[in-house]
Amino acid sequence: MFSTSLGYEDQVISHFIFSNKLPIEVFTLDTGRLFNETYSVLNSTLERYKTPIKVLYPQTEAIEKLVSEKGPISFYESLENRKECCYIRKVEPLKRALKGNSIWITGIRAEQSDNRQDMPSVEWDEANQIVKFHPILNWSLDEVKAYIFKHNIPYNPLHDKGFVSIGCAPCTRAVKEGEDFRAGRNVDTGHNFEEAISYRDNLAKQLDEKLIVRYVTDTIKAKKLQDGKGKFPSRNGLQTYTLLDVIEEFEFDACIGGARRDEEKARAKERIFSVRDEFGQWDPKMQRPELWNIYNGKVNKGENVRVFPISNWTELDVWNYIKREKIELPSIYFTHERECILTENGQLVNTNEFVTIEEKDVIVKKKVRYRTVGDMTCTAAVESEAYTVDDIIAELKEAKISERGATRMDDRVSEAAMEDRKKGGYF
Protein backbone atom coordinates (compact mmCIF):
# COMPACT_ATOMS: atom_id res chain seq x y z
CA MET A 1 0.00 0.00 0.00
CA PHE A 2 1.03 3.61 -0.57
CA SER A 3 0.63 6.47 1.90
CA THR A 4 0.20 9.92 0.36
CA SER A 5 0.21 13.33 1.99
CA LEU A 6 -0.58 14.80 -1.45
CA GLY A 7 2.79 16.59 -1.70
CA TYR A 8 4.97 16.78 -4.83
CA GLU A 9 6.64 13.40 -4.37
CA ASP A 10 3.48 11.57 -3.41
CA GLN A 11 1.60 12.92 -6.42
CA VAL A 12 4.29 11.49 -8.71
CA ILE A 13 3.85 8.02 -7.22
CA SER A 14 0.05 8.26 -7.21
CA HIS A 15 0.14 9.16 -10.93
CA PHE A 16 2.29 6.12 -11.68
CA ILE A 17 0.01 3.79 -9.70
CA PHE A 18 -3.26 5.13 -11.11
CA SER A 19 -2.06 5.54 -14.73
CA ASN A 20 -0.79 1.98 -14.82
CA LYS A 21 -3.77 0.61 -12.88
CA LEU A 22 -1.47 -1.10 -10.39
CA PRO A 23 -3.17 -3.19 -7.67
CA ILE A 24 -1.83 -0.94 -4.89
CA GLU A 25 -4.10 0.66 -2.33
CA VAL A 26 -3.50 4.38 -1.85
CA PHE A 27 -4.45 6.03 1.42
CA THR A 28 -4.08 9.40 3.12
CA LEU A 29 -4.58 10.67 6.66
CA ASP A 30 -7.01 13.50 7.35
CA THR A 31 -5.96 14.83 10.74
CA GLY A 32 -8.73 17.42 10.79
CA ARG A 33 -6.05 20.12 10.67
CA LEU A 34 -5.07 20.11 7.00
CA PHE A 35 -4.75 23.18 4.77
CA ASN A 36 -7.69 23.93 2.47
CA GLU A 37 -5.23 23.62 -0.43
CA THR A 38 -4.56 20.01 0.60
CA TYR A 39 -8.25 19.16 0.43
CA SER A 40 -8.44 20.85 -2.98
CA VAL A 41 -5.58 18.77 -4.42
CA LEU A 42 -7.21 15.60 -3.02
CA ASN A 43 -10.40 16.51 -4.85
CA SER A 44 -8.48 17.29 -8.08
CA THR A 45 -6.65 13.97 -7.87
CA LEU A 46 -9.88 12.01 -7.45
CA GLU A 47 -11.42 13.81 -10.43
CA ARG A 48 -8.34 13.28 -12.62
CA TYR A 49 -7.81 9.55 -12.07
CA LYS A 50 -11.32 8.37 -11.18
CA THR A 51 -9.74 6.04 -8.64
CA PRO A 52 -10.57 6.05 -4.92
CA ILE A 53 -8.06 7.15 -2.29
CA LYS A 54 -8.81 5.72 1.14
CA VAL A 55 -9.05 8.49 3.74
CA LEU A 56 -8.40 7.60 7.37
CA TYR A 57 -9.51 9.79 10.24
CA PRO A 58 -8.61 9.91 13.93
CA GLN A 59 -10.82 7.90 16.27
CA THR A 60 -13.88 10.04 17.03
CA GLU A 61 -13.95 9.20 20.73
CA ALA A 62 -10.27 10.09 21.17
CA ILE A 63 -10.67 13.46 19.43
CA GLU A 64 -13.83 14.29 21.37
CA LYS A 65 -12.12 13.46 24.67
CA LEU A 66 -9.01 15.50 23.78
CA VAL A 67 -10.92 18.61 22.71
CA SER A 68 -13.47 18.38 25.52
CA GLU A 69 -10.81 18.13 28.21
CA LYS A 70 -8.02 20.32 26.79
CA GLY A 71 -9.60 22.50 24.14
CA PRO A 72 -9.01 22.69 20.35
CA ILE A 73 -5.48 24.17 20.49
CA SER A 74 -3.93 22.35 23.44
CA PHE A 75 -0.92 21.42 21.30
CA TYR A 76 0.32 25.03 21.65
CA GLU A 77 0.42 24.77 25.44
CA SER A 78 3.02 22.05 26.03
CA LEU A 79 5.12 19.41 24.33
CA GLU A 80 3.18 16.67 26.08
CA ASN A 81 -0.05 18.00 24.61
CA ARG A 82 1.58 18.20 21.18
CA LYS A 83 2.73 14.60 21.50
CA GLU A 84 -0.78 13.51 22.49
CA CYS A 85 -2.37 15.41 19.60
CA CYS A 86 0.04 13.91 17.05
CA TYR A 87 -0.54 10.41 18.34
CA ILE A 88 -4.31 10.72 18.12
CA ARG A 89 -4.42 12.49 14.75
CA LYS A 90 -1.51 10.81 12.91
CA VAL A 91 0.25 7.93 14.62
CA GLU A 92 -2.77 5.82 15.56
CA PRO A 93 -4.53 6.17 12.15
CA LEU A 94 -1.26 5.31 10.38
CA LYS A 95 -0.76 2.19 12.48
CA ARG A 96 -4.35 1.22 11.73
CA ALA A 97 -3.77 1.67 7.99
CA LEU A 98 -0.55 -0.36 7.92
CA LYS A 99 -1.82 -3.25 10.04
CA GLY A 100 -1.92 -6.51 8.11
CA ASN A 101 0.05 -5.20 5.13
CA SER A 102 3.50 -6.41 4.09
CA ILE A 103 4.90 -3.47 2.05
CA TRP A 104 4.59 0.26 2.70
CA ILE A 105 5.44 2.54 -0.25
CA THR A 106 6.54 6.12 0.54
CA GLY A 107 7.60 9.27 -1.31
CA ILE A 108 10.79 9.79 0.68
CA ARG A 109 13.78 11.29 -1.20
CA ALA A 110 17.43 11.21 -0.12
CA GLU A 111 17.82 14.91 -0.93
CA GLN A 112 15.29 15.89 1.73
CA SER A 113 17.67 15.48 4.65
CA ASP A 114 21.25 14.48 5.39
CA ASN A 115 20.25 11.36 7.33
CA ARG A 116 18.57 9.99 4.19
CA GLN A 117 21.69 10.16 2.03
CA ASP A 118 22.67 6.55 2.73
CA MET A 119 19.16 5.20 3.15
CA PRO A 120 18.40 2.05 1.13
CA SER A 121 15.42 2.09 -1.20
CA VAL A 122 14.06 -0.99 0.60
CA GLU A 123 14.28 -1.26 4.39
CA TRP A 124 12.64 -2.87 7.38
CA ASP A 125 10.54 -0.64 9.64
CA GLU A 126 10.91 -2.17 13.08
CA ALA A 127 8.35 0.08 14.76
CA ASN A 128 5.58 -0.86 12.33
CA GLN A 129 6.86 -4.36 11.48
CA ILE A 130 6.67 -3.75 7.74
CA VAL A 131 8.94 -3.47 4.68
CA LYS A 132 9.27 0.11 3.42
CA PHE A 133 9.93 0.87 -0.25
CA HIS A 134 11.06 4.32 -1.43
CA PRO A 135 10.77 4.22 -5.27
CA ILE A 136 11.91 7.81 -5.94
CA LEU A 137 14.56 7.91 -3.22
CA ASN A 138 17.27 9.12 -5.62
CA TRP A 139 15.20 11.65 -7.52
CA SER A 140 16.06 15.34 -7.19
CA LEU A 141 13.42 17.98 -6.53
CA ASP A 142 13.94 19.30 -10.06
CA GLU A 143 13.23 15.83 -11.45
CA VAL A 144 10.07 15.60 -9.37
CA LYS A 145 8.86 19.00 -10.58
CA ALA A 146 9.69 18.16 -14.20
CA TYR A 147 7.67 14.94 -13.98
CA ILE A 148 4.75 16.81 -12.40
CA PHE A 149 4.62 19.41 -15.17
CA LYS A 150 5.30 16.97 -18.02
CA HIS A 151 2.29 14.84 -17.05
CA ASN A 152 0.13 17.72 -15.86
CA ILE A 153 -0.29 16.12 -12.44
CA PRO A 154 -2.38 18.00 -9.85
CA TYR A 155 -0.17 19.39 -7.09
CA ASN A 156 -0.55 21.43 -3.94
CA PRO A 157 -0.21 25.18 -4.70
CA LEU A 158 1.42 25.68 -1.29
CA HIS A 159 4.61 24.32 -2.89
CA ASP A 160 4.68 27.48 -5.01
CA LYS A 161 4.60 29.52 -1.78
CA GLY A 162 7.70 27.94 -0.28
CA PHE A 163 6.30 24.95 1.59
CA VAL A 164 8.81 22.08 1.40
CA SER A 165 6.56 19.58 3.17
CA ILE A 166 2.88 20.03 3.93
CA GLY A 167 1.21 18.58 7.00
CA CYS A 168 -1.13 20.01 9.61
CA ALA A 169 -1.73 23.74 9.11
CA PRO A 170 -0.84 24.85 12.68
CA CYS A 171 2.50 23.01 12.60
CA THR A 172 3.74 23.66 9.04
CA ARG A 173 5.27 26.80 7.57
CA ALA A 174 6.98 27.87 4.39
CA VAL A 175 10.74 28.10 3.93
CA LYS A 176 11.69 31.73 3.47
CA GLU A 177 13.01 33.00 0.15
CA GLY A 178 16.69 32.24 -0.34
CA GLU A 179 16.80 29.57 2.36
CA ASP A 180 18.43 26.27 1.53
CA PHE A 181 16.71 23.46 3.40
CA ARG A 182 20.11 21.82 4.03
CA ALA A 183 22.05 24.95 5.02
CA GLY A 184 23.27 25.97 8.50
CA ARG A 185 20.60 26.99 11.03
CA ASN A 186 20.30 29.31 14.01
CA VAL A 187 17.44 30.03 16.42
CA ASP A 188 17.08 33.78 17.04
CA THR A 189 15.08 34.64 20.19
CA GLY A 190 14.70 38.29 19.21
CA HIS A 191 16.36 39.15 22.56
CA ASN A 192 19.91 38.49 21.43
CA PHE A 193 22.90 40.75 22.00
CA GLU A 194 23.76 42.74 18.88
CA GLU A 195 27.43 41.75 19.22
CA ALA A 196 26.49 38.06 18.98
CA ILE A 197 24.22 38.55 15.95
CA SER A 198 26.85 40.61 14.09
CA TYR A 199 29.50 37.99 14.81
CA ARG A 200 27.18 35.20 13.62
CA ASP A 201 26.39 36.94 10.33
CA ASN A 202 30.02 37.94 9.68
CA LEU A 203 31.25 34.42 10.38
CA ALA A 204 28.77 32.91 7.93
CA LYS A 205 29.94 35.41 5.33
CA GLN A 206 33.63 34.70 5.95
CA LEU A 207 33.07 30.95 5.65
CA ASP A 208 30.89 31.46 2.57
CA GLU A 209 28.21 29.31 4.20
CA LYS A 210 24.46 29.75 3.97
CA LEU A 211 22.89 30.35 7.33
CA ILE A 212 19.20 29.72 7.94
CA VAL A 213 17.79 31.61 10.90
CA ARG A 214 14.57 30.69 12.61
CA TYR A 215 12.94 33.37 14.77
CA VAL A 216 11.21 32.75 18.09
CA THR A 217 9.06 35.80 17.30
CA ASP A 218 7.62 33.93 14.31
CA THR A 219 6.95 30.88 16.45
CA ILE A 220 5.14 32.95 19.07
CA LYS A 221 2.85 34.38 16.39
CA ALA A 222 2.29 31.11 14.54
CA LYS A 223 1.58 29.04 17.64
CA LYS A 224 -0.11 31.86 19.59
CA LEU A 225 2.33 31.36 22.47
CA GLN A 226 2.46 33.63 25.50
CA ASP A 227 5.53 35.86 25.38
CA GLY A 228 7.63 36.33 28.49
CA LYS A 229 6.18 38.52 31.25
CA GLY A 230 7.57 40.44 34.18
CA LYS A 231 10.59 42.61 34.67
CA PHE A 232 12.97 40.30 32.80
CA PRO A 233 10.74 38.66 30.11
CA SER A 234 12.95 35.80 28.96
CA ARG A 235 12.27 33.85 25.78
CA ASN A 236 14.76 31.18 26.77
CA GLY A 237 12.05 28.57 27.28
CA LEU A 238 10.10 29.58 24.19
CA GLN A 239 13.05 28.96 21.90
CA THR A 240 12.56 25.23 22.54
CA TYR A 241 9.43 25.34 20.35
CA THR A 242 11.41 26.93 17.51
CA LEU A 243 14.27 24.46 17.93
CA LEU A 244 11.95 21.44 17.81
CA ASP A 245 10.21 22.82 14.72
CA VAL A 246 13.58 23.15 12.96
CA ILE A 247 14.57 19.60 13.89
CA GLU A 248 11.26 18.28 12.58
CA GLU A 249 11.37 20.44 9.43
CA PHE A 250 14.81 19.23 8.36
CA GLU A 251 14.57 15.78 9.97
CA PHE A 252 17.87 16.11 11.81
CA ASP A 253 19.07 12.94 13.49
CA ALA A 254 21.96 14.66 15.29
CA CYS A 255 22.33 18.23 16.58
CA ILE A 256 25.77 19.32 17.79
CA GLY A 257 26.10 21.69 20.74
CA GLY A 258 28.82 23.16 22.94
CA ALA A 259 27.37 22.32 26.36
CA ARG A 260 29.73 21.08 29.07
CA ARG A 261 29.12 19.03 32.21
CA ASP A 262 30.82 21.52 34.52
CA GLU A 263 28.34 24.29 33.61
CA GLU A 264 25.32 23.06 35.56
CA LYS A 265 24.31 19.97 37.52
CA ALA A 266 21.62 18.84 35.03
CA ARG A 267 24.22 18.84 32.28
CA ALA A 268 26.47 16.70 34.43
CA LYS A 269 23.89 13.92 33.96
CA GLU A 270 23.88 14.21 30.21
CA ARG A 271 25.79 11.89 27.88
CA ILE A 272 27.96 13.04 24.99
CA PHE A 273 25.39 11.37 22.74
CA SER A 274 22.21 12.52 24.47
CA VAL A 275 19.16 10.67 23.13
CA ARG A 276 15.90 12.60 22.65
CA ASP A 277 12.55 11.06 21.77
CA GLU A 278 10.44 11.95 18.73
CA PHE A 279 9.28 15.11 20.52
CA GLY A 280 12.77 16.22 21.54
CA GLN A 281 12.28 15.31 25.16
CA TRP A 282 15.14 14.19 27.39
CA ASP A 283 14.74 11.47 30.00
CA PRO A 284 17.82 11.33 32.27
CA LYS A 285 16.88 7.76 33.26
CA MET A 286 16.91 6.51 29.66
CA GLN A 287 20.42 7.57 28.63
CA ARG A 288 22.90 5.08 27.20
CA PRO A 289 26.14 4.05 28.91
CA GLU A 290 29.32 5.44 27.33
CA LEU A 291 32.01 3.17 28.71
CA TRP A 292 35.56 3.62 27.45
CA ASN A 293 34.47 6.50 25.18
CA ILE A 294 32.33 4.19 23.03
CA TYR A 295 29.24 6.00 21.78
CA ASN A 296 25.97 4.64 20.42
CA GLY A 297 24.53 7.04 17.85
CA LYS A 298 21.66 4.84 16.68
CA VAL A 299 18.25 6.50 16.73
CA ASN A 300 14.80 5.34 15.72
CA LYS A 301 12.79 7.26 13.15
CA GLY A 302 11.71 10.60 14.56
CA GLU A 303 14.26 10.54 17.39
CA ASN A 304 17.50 12.51 17.47
CA VAL A 305 20.61 12.86 19.54
CA ARG A 306 22.11 16.06 20.87
CA VAL A 307 25.86 15.61 20.56
CA PHE A 308 28.18 17.47 22.95
CA PRO A 309 31.76 16.74 21.82
CA ILE A 310 33.41 19.00 24.44
CA SER A 311 31.19 17.78 27.26
CA ASN A 312 34.18 16.91 29.45
CA TRP A 313 36.04 20.16 28.88
CA THR A 314 36.12 22.95 31.45
CA GLU A 315 35.67 26.66 30.80
CA LEU A 316 39.42 27.02 31.20
CA ASP A 317 40.00 24.29 28.58
CA VAL A 318 37.83 26.24 26.15
CA TRP A 319 39.78 29.45 26.58
CA ASN A 320 43.14 27.70 26.32
CA TYR A 321 41.93 26.21 23.02
CA ILE A 322 40.77 29.65 21.84
CA LYS A 323 44.23 30.99 22.63
CA ARG A 324 46.03 28.14 20.85
CA GLU A 325 43.88 28.32 17.71
CA LYS A 326 43.71 32.15 17.71
CA ILE A 327 39.91 32.09 17.38
CA GLU A 328 38.16 35.44 16.94
CA LEU A 329 35.22 36.06 19.27
CA PRO A 330 32.42 38.58 19.77
CA SER A 331 33.67 41.62 21.67
CA ILE A 332 31.07 41.03 24.37
CA TYR A 333 33.29 38.32 25.92
CA PHE A 334 35.94 40.91 26.74
CA THR A 335 35.83 43.77 29.22
CA HIS A 336 33.88 46.85 28.16
CA GLU A 337 31.83 49.53 29.89
CA ARG A 338 28.08 48.89 30.05
CA GLU A 339 25.06 50.36 31.81
CA CYS A 340 23.42 47.72 33.97
CA ILE A 341 20.69 47.16 36.52
CA LEU A 342 22.14 45.97 39.82
CA THR A 343 19.63 43.33 40.95
CA GLU A 344 18.79 42.50 44.56
CA ASN A 345 20.96 39.38 44.40
CA GLY A 346 23.92 41.34 43.05
CA GLN A 347 23.71 40.40 39.36
CA LEU A 348 24.41 42.96 36.63
CA VAL A 349 21.75 42.90 33.87
CA ASN A 350 22.23 45.28 30.97
CA THR A 351 19.55 47.88 30.37
CA ASN A 352 17.70 47.19 27.11
CA GLU A 353 14.35 47.70 25.42
CA PHE A 354 12.92 44.42 26.74
CA VAL A 355 13.64 44.95 30.44
CA THR A 356 11.22 47.01 32.54
CA ILE A 357 13.17 49.71 34.40
CA GLU A 358 11.53 50.93 37.61
CA GLU A 359 12.23 53.97 39.77
CA LYS A 360 13.61 51.81 42.56
CA ASP A 361 16.16 50.14 40.26
CA VAL A 362 19.82 50.84 40.89
CA ILE A 363 21.41 51.73 37.55
CA VAL A 364 25.21 51.51 37.44
CA LYS A 365 27.88 51.82 34.80
CA LYS A 366 30.49 49.12 35.23
CA LYS A 367 33.41 47.51 33.47
CA VAL A 368 31.99 44.09 32.64
CA ARG A 369 32.24 41.14 30.31
CA TYR A 370 30.02 38.16 29.54
CA ARG A 371 31.12 34.62 30.35
CA THR A 372 28.14 33.15 28.48
CA VAL A 373 25.88 34.77 25.91
CA GLY A 374 22.18 33.99 25.62
CA ASP A 375 18.89 35.84 25.88
CA MET A 376 19.84 39.37 27.04
CA THR A 377 16.93 39.48 29.48
CA CYS A 378 18.20 36.55 31.54
CA THR A 379 21.98 36.70 31.08
CA ALA A 380 24.00 38.77 33.53
CA ALA A 381 27.46 40.27 33.09
CA VAL A 382 30.36 39.96 35.52
CA GLU A 383 32.67 42.72 36.63
CA SER A 384 36.02 42.21 34.99
CA GLU A 385 39.33 43.74 33.92
CA ALA A 386 39.98 41.00 31.34
CA TYR A 387 40.70 42.73 28.04
CA THR A 388 42.58 39.86 26.36
CA VAL A 389 42.41 36.07 26.16
CA ASP A 390 45.36 35.81 28.54
CA ASP A 391 43.56 38.08 31.01
CA ILE A 392 40.48 35.84 30.87
CA ILE A 393 42.56 32.69 31.42
CA ALA A 394 44.17 34.26 34.46
CA GLU A 395 40.76 35.35 35.75
CA LEU A 396 39.26 31.87 35.33
CA LYS A 397 42.04 30.28 37.35
CA GLU A 398 40.65 32.19 40.33
CA ALA A 399 36.95 31.65 39.54
CA LYS A 400 34.90 29.72 42.13
CA ILE A 401 31.63 29.33 40.19
CA SER A 402 30.73 28.23 36.65
CA GLU A 403 29.70 30.74 34.00
CA ARG A 404 26.04 29.65 34.10
CA GLY A 405 25.99 29.69 37.87
CA ALA A 406 27.36 33.21 37.88
CA THR A 407 25.29 34.73 35.10
CA ARG A 408 22.13 32.86 34.08
CA MET A 409 19.00 34.10 35.83
CA ASP A 410 16.80 31.45 34.24
CA ASP A 411 18.79 28.72 36.00
CA ARG A 412 17.83 30.22 39.37
CA VAL A 413 14.06 29.88 38.92
CA SER A 414 14.21 26.58 40.81
CA GLU A 415 16.70 23.90 41.82
CA ALA A 416 15.72 21.85 38.76
CA ALA A 417 15.18 24.75 36.30
CA MET A 418 17.68 23.53 33.70
CA GLU A 419 16.65 19.88 34.01
CA ASP A 420 12.98 20.76 33.58
CA ARG A 421 13.73 22.74 30.41
CA LYS A 422 15.83 19.90 29.01
CA LYS A 423 13.05 17.40 29.64
CA GLY A 424 10.87 19.62 27.48
CA GLY A 425 13.31 19.70 24.56
CA TYR A 426 15.74 22.51 25.47
CA PHE A 427 19.12 22.08 23.79
Q: H or E element: which one contains 219?
A: helix 216-223
- Please tell me the distance from the alpha carbon of residue 58 to that of residue 60, in angstroms, as a whole number: 6
pLDDT tens per residue across all 427 residues of the chain: 999 999 999 999 999 999 999 999 999 999 998 999 999 999 999 999 999 999 999 999 999 999 999 888 777 666 567 778 888 999 899 999 999 999 999 998 888 765 577 788 999 888 788 999 999 999 998 999 999 999 999 999 988 887 877 888 877 777 655 555 544 445 567 788 888 888 888 888 888 887 888 888 888 888 888 877 788 888 877 888 888 888 888 888 888 988 888 887 777 778 889 888 877 777 877 788 888 888 888 888 778 888 999 999 999 999 999 999 999 998 899 999 988 999 988 889 888 878 888 889 899 999 999 998 888 888 889 999 999 999 999 999 888 776 655 554 544 444 545 555 555 555 5
User: What are the C-alpha distances in Å from 339 to residues 195, 198, 343?
Assistant: 15, 20, 13
Name the residue ranges covered by the structural domains of the chain.
Answer: 2-165, 184-312, 330-417
- Please tell me the distance from the alpha carbon of residue 259 to that of residue 268, in angstroms, as a whole number: 10
Residues 6+ apart with CB under 8 A from 228: 234, 235, 238, 377
Q: b/e per residue, 186-224, with b = 16+ CB within 10 A?
A: ebbbbbbbebbeebbeeebeeeeeebbbbbbbbbbebbe
Predicted pLDDT of residue 115: 59
Predicted pLDDT of residue 195: 85
- Please tell me the distance from the alpha carbon of residue 190 to that of residue 242, in angstroms, as a whole number: 12
**Fold observed for domain 184-312:** Rossmann fold (3.40.50)
The structure's pTM equals: 0.55
How does DSSP assign 277-331, residue by residue?
A: -TT----GGGPPP-GGG-------TT-EEEE-TTTT--HHHHHHHHHHHT----G
Predicted pLDDT of residue 182: 41
Domain 2-165 of CATH type 3.40.228.10: no
